Structure 1
Amino acid sequence: MTAPPTDTTAPAGPPGGRATADGAVMRPLGPTERWYWLADQVSPYNGLARVRVRGELTADDIAAALAELQRRHPLLRAAVRPDAKGRPVFVAVPDRAAELRTGPLTDLDEQWVEELQERESGRPLDLASGPAFRAVLLSTPDGLTHDLLLVVSHVVVDASSLVSLLRECVTAVAPQGRGREPEREVLPPVEELIPRAHRTYRPAELLRTARSMVREQRRVRERAPVRIVGSERVPFAERRSGLVHRSVPAAALDALLAESRRQGTTVHGALGAALVRAAAEHAPDLFAPEDRPGPDGSMRITLGSPVDLRARLEPRVAPQEVGAFVSMLRTNVDHRPEREFWETARSITTDMRERREQSEDFCMLHISRWVVPRADKGVLRLLEAAEAANPQNLALSNFGRVDFPERDGSLRFSGVQLAASLGASCYLGAVVVTAHETANLNLNYLRRAISPETAVSVADRWHGLVMERCEAAGADGDGVAPTGRA
């Protein structure tokens, strides 16, 4: 078990309320940001990151680094409050420092998982007071090995900016690293950066979006996807996330990449095929009786895949810019027990490519603009309606290989991890990130609806299927040794 924290700090700050003279309004939230904010009102919606640091490091070092992050990124010194009409806006709260909790690091293998699952995933950030992030520093008694955890609201980060903030935090610790980066501007929300050719004031784009909605309705009519329900219906306000961690050597993932290319698909397609199969094989524990496989064992399962839009926006958005610049693509995957693995992987890749070619990722943003309310009213009814209408509550975010240094001065880094609070709408959400010669597979699950035993079994099967493909791909070379929970 994790030892209790030795120090908890939460600086006092202004109370939440309407945006008034106590803080300058930066800008209103965009539709996607509003959706995250609304969901967070009911169940915490946090991005989670971790890195292992070896070397001399103190809480004062991290506090100074967090202050430097706030200096560089205005949204990290902001609160979210309603304006006079009840619409959420970012408000500057420059005097409120990020919370930093410290504690002992007693288990070098599993403690970070327990810290994120038991202490940080389900603890909301006080967005009305700000700022929208906090940190945890766990250290061994000799002060030479540390786990640094960042918890940042999805209202202000996507995966790219979460990893960038983690990297900036540890590299800002060295005295020569502080203050090198200029203060950044507050960028507009993603909806205002959509390329002109895809703006909804163009009749062609409105038609494209309408056709996208019709195509999806037709797909559902042809064969309705099933959704995960688990063993019990958990009220939105009581939803909390669990976490199961597995890992794959980067060399194995390289073999999988080469084999995926030979098979005409992608690593994301392979990871998605393995995740869908693992879920289908656990149908009695995940799906309602009426949705479980028929005599032939077939199921249609919707897999959500977050899509990074930064390179396609106008102007392009750099990875280090804080903000939520993503959309979601939904792929209806037909699972059959006898279906060849690579056929399923190719179907995922092909479907995602076709949807992107049809600009469905931009269409999802247009739909958010139309359906997400401007104020915090009727949020529970909205979430209930969205859950009833949306068959996609299984998601896979494959972040790929990240550019994270192995050392900076006397500090050495390893074990970069990404995870997430599932918020109000997801039941199983997998996050994959590769750094420091390891691909980390983290499976987030809705607790109570899905038991820890089922989550571990699904994660083991997902990991096992991935390793089977890796080992098969490496059979003609040096081979690949399996790994598990490191």
Structure 2
Amino acid sequence: MTSSQLLVRPLAPSEVTHFRFGLYVGYAARVRGKLDSAALAQAFAILREAYPILSARLVLDHVSQPSIEAAPELSAAVDEVTGPTDEPLFGLPDLADRAAAIHTVRGSDDTATVTLLTHHAIADGHHSLHLLSELWHLYTACVADELTAPHRHDYPHSLEHLLDQRGIDVGPTVLPDENVLGALADVDIPSTPPERVRTRLSAADTAALLAAGRSQGTTINGLVSAALLAATAQSRGVDIATLHYTYPVDLRSRLTPRVGYPEGTNVLGMAYFTADSHADDDLLALARAITGNLREGVATGAVFAGSSQFMAAATAQGDSINPAEFLSTMVISTNWGVIPHLPTPPDLTIEDFYPVMPSNPMTAVAPYVITTYDGQLTIDTSARSAETSQLLADQLHSLARAF
């Protein structure tokens, strides 16, 4: 460590597992038109000045405690390669534990894919989407030569700190035990990026599904979750009751005072749900049960306890549990909601948005990422189950058109 590198703080338990496995999440925009590489690098440099966490890296301190280290002298990770734009991580270099990076893949025509990568230990999905929107605002301003000095933000706090500030005691954070971590560590990481499987509804079907949820006492998240569980059970040929479903819950709007997107790293609780046998016979009832379970978890504080519910289920059988078998029963989703507006100059158009995750043991159970972009509900995954995704699409279309 050099004299210019200072430890900001140790990572909290809610952040440590992401550090242990070096988990990054990518936010990719496929663009068409004139992409100015110099302006993109300038925009990222300004973003790093406004959000100093982006100039940090994750390290072990002198007592081997995972920590955030300020490293402003570390050059910004902005790289560009020529390759297939449908592979946004093509040619991705080693990120060397940096907190964030920009990776661009240029096609042979006027298309490119620009990906903002953030280390999951320093930002969750909603935090990173805020940063993504800021990046494109800054890029557009750089191209137009209309920059104004952005507001400088403090380093984000951990969930534990934010809860403590508000007098909320959820007890000690329960992290995955060594058996589960060992099962993850033993996962073979494929040498090639896993193929993405996408389920997308039209804007009209998305609006219809949203209206159906409201009229039936549930939400888009409840409907997608119900359809996902049913599709998974059907494609695997198992009773839906054998599946363990979990998904992160953004706590920012559920805390008083509310937490701004860049104020916290992983401001997430975890919802945990298991269905009754044959619950997939009535998807609307199942969706309402999932929504009701979430509301109850928020009311009782169970959701605020993070992964504790889930880990209690994972260890319920004591030493007899087979972590690999338990992982095979998991279904994970994450709902990023509506993607914020991403402005561009007149000569550049963002044609699509999609999430990407570099191969990592933490993604051994590939999550289903739920987003709404340009009015269209989309579920992306690399779970290698085209059958599940087709069943999911069929069920969501049926629900959207039933009301």
TM-score range, shorter chain: 0.7 to 0.9
Q: 1:269 to 1:66 in 2, by over 3 A?
A: same
Q: 1:365 to 1:432 in 2, by over 3 A?
A: closer
Specify the alignment match of 1:238 in structure 2: 188
Deviation at 1:103, TM superposition (A): 3.1
* Residues in 1 aligned to 2:14 and 2:165: alpha-carbon distance in whole angstroms: 19
* Residues in 1 aligned to 2:307 and 2:162: alpha-carbon distance in whole angstroms: 11
**Residue 420 (str. 1) matches residue 398 (str. 2):** no
| Residue identity matched to 2:162 | L
Normalising by structure 1, what TM-score? 0.70
Q: 1:335 to 1:247 in 2, by over 3 A?
A: farther
* Residues in 2 aligned to 1:322 and 1:57: alpha-carbon distance in whole angstroms: 31
Q: 1:433 to 1:388 in 2, by over 3 A?
A: same
Deviation at 1:21, TM superposition (A): 3.0
Q: 1:87 to 1:63 in 2, by over 3 A?
A: same
Specify the alignment match of 2:133 in structure 1: 167
**Residue 471 (str. 1) matches residue 401 (str. 2):** yes
1:104 and 1:138 in contact (8 A); partners too:
yes
* Residues in 2 aligned to 1:93 and 1:76: alpha-carbon distance in whole angstroms: 9
SS of residue matched to 1:428: coil
Stretch deviating more after TM superposition (342-351 or 407-416): 407-416
**Residue 132 (str. 1) matches residue 132 (str. 2):** no
Q: 1:134 to 1:460 in 2, by over 3 A?
A: same
Alignment of 1:401-420 (within 5 A): 401-405=338-342, 407-420=344-357
Deviation at 1:158, TM superposition (A): 0.8
Specify the alignment match of 1:152 in structure 2: 118
Specify the alignment match of 1:462 in structure 2: 392
Q: 1:435 to 1:331 in 2, by over 3 A?
A: same
Specify the alignment match of 2:315 in structure 1: none
Deviation at 1:367, TM superposition (A): 8.7
SS of residue matched to 1:299: helix
| Residue identity matched to 2:366 | L
Specify the alignment match of 1:357 in structure 2: 299
**Residue 336 (str. 1) matches residue 303 (str. 2):** no
Deviation by residue 1:337-367 (Cα, 9 ceiling, x = unmatched): 7621111111111111111111112222789
* Residues in 1 aligned to 2:273 and 2:364: alpha-carbon distance in whole angstroms: 15
Specify the alignment match of 2:76 in structure 1: 98
Specify the alignment match of 1:39 in structure 2: 21
2:187 and 2:364 in contact (8 A); partners too:
no
Specify the alignment match of 1:272 in structure 2: 225
Q: 1:425 to 1:140 in 2, by over 3 A?
A: closer
Specify the alignment match of 2:66 in structure 1: 88
| Residue identity matched to 2:151 | P
Q: 1:96 to 1:196 in 2, by over 3 A?
A: closer
Q: Percent identity?
A: 22
Deviation at 1:334, TM superposition (A): 2.7
Normalising by structure 2, what TM-score? 0.83
1:246 and 1:440 in contact (8 A); partners too:
yes
* Residues in 2 aligned to 1:356 and 1:392: alpha-carbon distance in whole angstroms: 24
Q: 1:389 to 1:234 in 2, by over 3 A?
A: closer
Deviation by residue 1:242-288 (Cα, 9 ceiling, x = unmatched): 2212321222111001111111111111101111111111225xxxx
Specify the alignment match of 2:331 in structure 1: 394
**Residue 59 (str. 1) matches residue 37 (str. 2):** yes
Specify the alignment match of 1:68 in structure 2: 46
Specify the alignment match of 1:23 in structure 2: 5
**Residue 443 (str. 1) matches residue 396 (str. 2):** no
* Residues in 2 aligned to 1:442 and 1:270: alpha-carbon distance in whole angstroms: 16
SS of residue matched to 1:85: coil
* Residues in 1 aligned to 2:3 and 2:200: alpha-carbon distance in whole angstroms: 49
Structure 1 vs Structure 2 CA RMSD: 3.1
Q: What are the ranges of 5 or more consecutive residues in structure 2 without an aligned counterpart?
A: 175-182, 311-320
* Residues in 2 aligned to 1:439 and 1:188: alpha-carbon distance in whole angstroms: 31
Larger Rg: 1
Q: 1:250 aligns with which of 203, 207, 215?
A: 203
1:28 and 1:89 in contact (8 A); partners too:
yes
**Residue 187 (str. 1) matches residue 156 (str. 2):** yes
Q: What are the ranges of 5 or more consecutive residues in structure 1 without an aligned counterpart?
A: 1-18, 214-232, 285-291, 369-383, 446-451, 474-486
| Residue identity matched to 2:213 | S
Q: 1:256 to 1:132 in 2, by over 3 A?
A: same
1:73 and 1:322 in contact (8 A); partners too:
no
Deviation by residue 1:209-264 (Cα, 9 ceiling, x = unmatched): 89xx9xxxxxxxxxxxxxxxxxxx88535235622123212221110011111111
| Residue identity matched to 1:94 | P
Deviation at 1:314, TM superposition (A): 5.5
Q: 1:161 to 1:197 in 2, by over 3 A?
A: closer
1:244 and 1:459 in contact (8 A); partners too:
yes
Q: 1:76 to 1:405 in 2, by over 3 A?
A: closer
1:191 and 1:365 in contact (8 A); partners too:
no
Deviation at 1:331, TM superposition (A): 0.9
SS of residue matched to 1:171: helix
Deviation by residue 1:117-164 (Cα, 9 ceiling, x = unmatched): x655xx76321xxx222222233445x433211222111121112212
* Residues in 2 aligned to 1:385 and 1:197: alpha-carbon distance in whole angstroms: 38
| Residue identity matched to 2:75 | A
* Residues in 2 aligned to 1:141 and 1:324: alpha-carbon distance in whole angstroms: 38
* Residues in 2 aligned to 1:471 and 1:396: alpha-carbon distance in whole angstroms: 24
1:393 and 1:428 in contact (8 A); partners too:
no
Deviation by residue 1:22-54 (Cα, 9 ceiling, x = unmatched): 5111111111111211233xxxx2211111333
1:78 and 1:90 in contact (8 A); partners too:
yes
SS of residue matched to 1:148: strand
